[in-house]
Amino acid sequence: MSSSSPRLIVLDRDGVINEDLWGYVTKTEDFSPIEGSLDAIARLTKAKFLIYIATNQACINKGLINEVKLNEIHEYMLNLINDFGGKIELITFCPHTPDEKCQCRKPETGLLEKIEKHAGRSLKGSFFIGDKESDWICAEKFGCTPLLVKTGYGEKTISSMVTFPKERIFKNLFAAVEYILS
């Protein structure tokens, strides 16, 4: 990979890009971007990052929403991001519940494997921004650099028993992107 190749970055969705409803976003009206998140994605796009989303969506296999509805929500999100000047390369999601023990639900790495295949190159060393311990563990397992945001489940995650390096914890996605671009 040449030094001029775009860098890859992975974002979680709920709690990072949009408000986490402490349940599930099951319709477009429930999708509410976190302040600064759309601008942050636009800044990454302008800085020539290729942006990917890896999100657990157990609401599908729980029967709360189907893939058609999830795709409508994602289309709505992508339109908002595009309006701000941002671009998402690919959204990968896991439809499984935790008890299904699949290989794609974070902290497992199946979603990152899909992203890597789509990108045609390694994600090793790429930033992965999330709000949950499962995001952090997934990133570390796969050789990505995890960053944690305090939005969504972030504050709860930080207060859990796991210790996170303070220099990799940020107020929100916008602050994390400022760090990455500095």
- What was the pLDDT predicted at 164? 84
Residue 98 confidence (pLDDT): 96
- Residue 161 has what pLDDT? 65
Tell whether 1 is covered by a domain: no
What radius of gyration do the chain's Cα atoms show? 15
Residue 51 covered by a domain: yes
Residue 55 domain-assigned (yes or no): yes
Angle between helices 173-181 and 37-46 (to 10 degrees): 20
CB atoms within 10 A of CB 24: 18
Domain count of the fold of the chain = 1
Domain holding 70, by residue range, is: 7-181
Name the pTM for this structure: 0.95
Do residues 25 and 158 make contact, with C-beta atoms less than 8 angstroms apart? no
Whether residue 159 is contained in a domain is answered as: yes
pLDDT along the chain (182 residues), means of 10: 75 97 92 98 98 98 97 98 98 98 98 98 97 96 97 93 86 98 96
Q: 142 in a domain, yes or no?
A: yes
Catalytic residue among 14, 20, 131, 135: 14
Confirm whether 14 is a catalytic residue: yes
Does the active-site annotation cover 135? no
**CATH no. for residue 112?**
3.40.50.1000
Residue 2 lies in a domain: no
